[in-house]
Amino acid sequence: MAAKAKRIGILTGGGDAPGLNSVIESVVRSLSGKGYELVGIRDGFEGIFNGRTVDLEREALMGVHSLAGTYLGTSNKSGTAGREEEFRQKYYALKLDGLIAAGGDGTFAGIQIVLSSDIPLIGVPKTIDNDLEGTDITFGYDTACAVVSEAVDALRATADAHRRIIIVETMGRTAGWIALGGGLASYADAILLPERPFSRSELVTYVKRLKNSGRRGLMIVASEGAAAKGEEASIAFKVEGSPQAERFGGFAERLARWIEGEADWEARHVVLGHLQRSRHPTTTDRFLTLAMGLEAARLVAAGDWHKAVVYRNGTVTNAPLSDIMKPARLVAPEHRWVRFAQELGIFI
């Protein structure tokens, strides 16, 4: 008699990141036909609580790797706090032999609660913010940087045409990786990061110097969580039930109004927002995620649970799950990319 197929659940939690679909396609292509039944959990943890699943058939998944978003849906709510026992019961009711969860810090904070139980779990870290410890890079980040650099390069034309400063606000919460990567890749004139509170007077002096040198337009890339020295980041609103409740916003708009007055140079702002999450994944993110999906599948086949699939020293490998459950990985003050910006004469 043939052995019973093992049921493996896959869920995607937290903010979507380009490459999630590629992880799903890679896992399904790799495991299907080899004694596994792949079950998609709808909308992150919510799908466990309400039992909403979808059978993941190889044929139906072919080609989703090129799409942003997630085939499974996702949710920002970690949802397990205070509902641990219910979570366990609902999870066991799905009769899964293991779970692959692609998520960010919010997702793993939720999962940590159930780690003490015997739920076999493999984590695949994702966030466009690139701020997870334990992995050198998270997927979705390269795509987010592509959105930023393409936007800055494009906006330079209208900035020059109108003799304006344009401030481009990026995502990234408390970590400035997207502003730094996207700003460097587009040779922005100034890059403002949450990790490096800037001096207002130094920024004005720099902007005036460029104006006096005859520059027509000026491009500033600012992280949504950036702030001047001694000032608080700009919180736009809070989201009930989300592990990271604050949503940042408004910084670029306020900076534009202020710098226009100070430097006597017309200024506008552009908030890239969720465009940074919704572009089709770059080739780099596709390679990263197809390799991460394969590694997750290998861990499942080996029964090597409670591992995270990570990227270290130029290769996809695995590490204890606890390696990625740490506070946000921020841009170090002396990070070589900060130095690159300084050597290029970029205000940072």
Residues in the site for ligand F6P, rule: CB under 6 A? 15, 76, 104, 127-129, 171-173, 224, 239, 247-248, 277
Find out whether 320 and 312 touch, Cβ atoms under 8 Å.
no
Taking CB atoms within 8 Å and a gap of at least 24, the contacts of 283-287 are 284/142, 285/18, 285/19, 285/22, 285/139, 285/140, 285/141, 285/142, 285/143, 286/19, 286/22, 286/65, 286/66
Nearer to ligand F6P, 277 or 286 (CB): 277
At its nearest, how many Å lie between ligand F6P and the CB of residue 228? 20
Q: Which is nearer to ligand F6P, 14 or 98 (CB)?
A: 14
Least distance CB 140 / ligand F6P (angstroms): 9
Catalytic residues: 129
Query: Rounded to an integer, what distance in angstroms lies between the CA atom of residue 181 and that of residue 193?
Result: 11
* Residues 310, 304 contacting (CB under 8 angstroms): no
CB of 248 to ligand F6P, least distance (A): 6
Nearest to ligand F6P of 178, 297 (CB atom): 178
| Residue 160 C-beta: closest distance to ligand F6P, Å | 29
β-pair type (98-103, 53-55): unpaired
CB-nearest residue to ligand F6P: 171
Helical pair 141-162 and 283-302, crossing angle rounded to 10 deg: 170
**Which of 93, 236 has the CB closer to ligand F6P?**
236
Long-range Cβ contact pairs of 77-80 (< 8 A, separation 24 or more): 77/44, 77/45, 77/46, 77/241, 77/242, 78/13, 78/45, 78/106, 78/107, 78/109, 78/110, 78/242, 78/243, 79/44, 79/45, 79/46, 79/49, 79/110, 79/241, 80/45, 80/110, 80/111, 80/113, 80/114
Q: Which C-beta is closer to ligand F6P: that of 18 or that of 98?
A: 18
* Minimum CB distance to ligand F6P, residue 72 (Å): 16
What are 172's strand-pairing partners? none
Query: Closest separation between CB of residue 257 and ligand F6P, Å?
Result: 22
Residue 104 or residue 183: which is nearer to ligand F6P going by CB? 104
